[in-house]
Amino acid sequence: MKLIITVFIMLYSLVSVTPPVYAEEPPPVIRGEGAYLIDVMSGQALFMKNPNTQLAPASTTKIMTALLAIEKGNFSDIVTVSSTMLNNKLVYGTAIYLEPGEKIGFEDLIYATLLNSANDAAVTLAEHIGGGDIPSFVEMMNQKALDIGATQTHFVNPSGLTEEGHVTTAHDLALIARAAYRNPMFAEYVRTKTHPISRSKENVPILMVNQNELLWKDPSINGIKLGYTQAAQNCFVASASKDGRQLIGVILKSPGKEIWTDMQAMFNYGFSQYKSTVFKSRGSVISSIIVNNEPVDLILDDPIYMTQKLNEPQASLNLRVTQDTNPLTSVEKGQVVGHVEILEGETLLNTLPLKTSRGVEEKSGIDSVGSSHLAWIIGSILTISFIALMVNSYQRRRRTRYWRRQVRRSTRRRNLSGNFDSHESRLK
C-alpha cells in the first residue's frame, strides 16, 4: 500500500511540474516570393520567406501614403483636385474618377485610398500634403520609412503603380504596416468594410467598399491593404487578432488567389505555435537618474511583450537605455526623460519611452548648490566652530594658569613678609 501511494505521489509530481506539450505544426508553404509574419505587440518575427528580397509593393504603397496623410493632414480640410489630375499617369488604374477643380473632403480621400485603393485619391492626398508637389511628398514617404527602420524600401510615387526603383521587402513592409496599425485612426480606417463619401458633382454619396476579401469572411481579420499590378502580381498585407494577440502578415508577388488561403495559413501558424508573455510589466523600473542629487526611477508606461515558440526554452530580450545626459534641476512626475530599446540579439524590435516615477522641484538659494555642496559647507562651518572652540578653550586655560601663578606668587610674598616680621620681633 505504501509503495502504491509513493508511486502515485511521484507520478503526480511529475505531471504537476512538467510543462504542457503542444502539437508542433510545420511552417506554412507560402507561394508568394516574399512573406513575413510579425507580432504587433512584441515586434518579433514568427515566420519569414525571402524577407529581404526587394519586390514591387503595388497598392500596399498606399499604407504609407495614408499614414502620412493621417499624421500631417487636417481632417476638416476640403481639398480641391488639381487641374493636372487627368494628365498624371499615376492615377491610371483603380480610381473614383476625380475631376479637376472638384472639391472633396480630406477624410473621404483617405477612405477612397484605403478601401477602394483609388489611385487618383492617393495622388490628390500627396499633392495636398506635399504643398502641391508630389516629389516632396515622396521624400516624406522615404524619410518615414527610414525612421521606421525600413531601410531597404524606396518609394517613387504615392499610388504604387510600377516604376523603376519603387521597391520594398516583406520585412520592411511588415514594419511599415505595424507602425501604421499602431495609429488608432489608421486601424479604424482599414477595419471599415464600407463608407459613403460625398462628391461635389454628385447629389448622392458614393459607397466605398473594402477590397480585403478576408475582412468579409474571417472575423479575426481586421485590416489592412492589398494590391496588384502586372509586375508586382498579387500583394497582400493583413492583420488578425485572437486571444488578445495581434499579428500582421505580408505576402508579396503571389501568382494567384491562393494568396488568401496562404495568409490564413500563416496566421494559423502564428497563433497556434507561438505565445506572448509580458517580459516587463507597466510601471517596471528600468533605470534611474539623479535630479538635484536625488535618485528618481525611470519606469515603463507600457509593458514589454515577448513572443516565443511553444515547446522551446524561454528566450530573453536585451534592453538598451538612452537618456538625456544634460543634468536636470527639476522633473515632473511622468515626464519622459529617456527611452528603452528592446532588442532580440542585434535586431531592434521596439522603442518605448521612460517616464519619471516622481517629481523633484527645482531648489533655490543655498539648496541650489546641491546637497553635497551643502554638506561640505556645513562640515566646514562645524570644523571652523570646533577650531574656534579649541582656541577659546586653550586661551581660557592659559588665562587660568596665569592667574593661578599670580595667586601663588602673591601668597609666597605674603608668607615671606610674615616670616621676616616674626624674626625681627624676636631680635627685639
Q: Which residues are catalytically annotated?
A: 59, 62, 117
Say yes or no: 287 and 351 in one domain: yes
CATH number at residue 355: 2.60.410.10
Say yes or no: 126 and 228 in one domain: yes
Say yes or no: 136 and 59 in one domain: yes
Q: Report CA-CA distances (Å) from 144 to 28, 52, 72, 125.
A: 31, 19, 12, 16
Annotated binding site: 225
**Spatial distance between the Cα atoms of 150 and 61, rounded to a whole number of angstroms:** 13
Say yes or no: 39 and 81 in one domain: yes
Percentage helix, strand, coil for the chain under 3-state DSSP, each rounded to 5? 40, 25, 35
pLDDT at 367: 52
Number of residues that make up the chain: 428
DSSP line for 156-197: S-SS----TT-BB-HHHHHHHHHHHHTSHHHHHHHT-SEEEE
Q: Report CA-CA distances (Å) from 67 to 5, 155, 178, 247, 321.
A: 65, 14, 11, 19, 28
pLDDT at 293: 83
Say yes or no: 337 and 348 in one domain: yes
Say yes or no: 355 and 389 in one domain: no
Say yes or no: 240 and 326 in one domain: no
Using DSSP, state whether 219 is helix, strand or coil.
Answer: coil
Q: If 0-12 CB within 10 Å is exposed, 13-18 middle and 19+ buried, where does residue 128 land?
A: buried
Does the CA dihedral 94-135-188-227 come out positive or negative?
A: positive
Say yes or no: 166 and 301 in one domain: no
Count CB neighbours of 90 within 10 A: 19
Q: Is residue 415 part of a domain?
A: no
User: What residue has cell string 519622459?
Assistant: 336
Q: Is residue 22 part of a domain?
A: no
Domain count for the chain: 3
CATH number at residue 191: 3.40.710.10
Q: Is the pLDDT reported for residue 8 higher than 50?
A: no
Cell of residue 306, nine digits = 515577448
Give the structural domain span for 175: 34-274
- Confirm if 274 and 248 have CB atoms less than 8 A apart: no
Q: What tens digit of pLDDT does each residue of 60-100 get?
A: 999 999 999 999 999 999 999 998 877 778 788 899 999 99
Q: Is the pLDDT reported for residue 370 higher than 70?
A: no
Between 313 and 272, the higher pLDDT residue: 272
User: What residue has cell string 515577448?
Assistant: 306
Q: Is residue 76 part of a domain?
A: yes
- Confirm if 71 and 176 have CB atoms less than 8 A apart: no
Q: Is residue 399 part of a domain?
A: no
Q: Report CA-CA distances (Å) from 205 to 101, 188, 199, 347, 405.
A: 18, 20, 7, 47, 119
pLDDT at 1: 38
Question: How confident is residue 374, by pLDDT bands cut at 50, 70 and 90?
Answer: low
Say yes or no: 125 and 251 in one domain: yes
Q: Is residue 7 part of a domain?
A: no
Say yes or no: 200 and 103 in one domain: yes
**Spatial distance between the Cα atoms of 138 and 131, rounded to a whole number of angstroms:** 12
Say yes or no: 148 and 196 in one domain: yes
Q: Is the pLDDT reported for residue 107 higher than 90?
A: yes
pLDDT at 75: 95
Which of the listed residues 232, 259, 274 is the one where a domain comes to its end?
274
Annotated binding site for substrate: 225
- Confirm if 62 and 160 have CB atoms less than 8 A apart: yes
Q: Is the pLDDT reported for residue 368 higher than 70?
A: no
- Confirm if 112 and 121 have CB atoms less than 8 A apart: yes
Say yes or no: 295 and 372 in one domain: no
Does the CA dihedral 213-214-219-221 come out positive or negative?
A: negative
Percent of the chain at pLDDT > 70 equals: 80
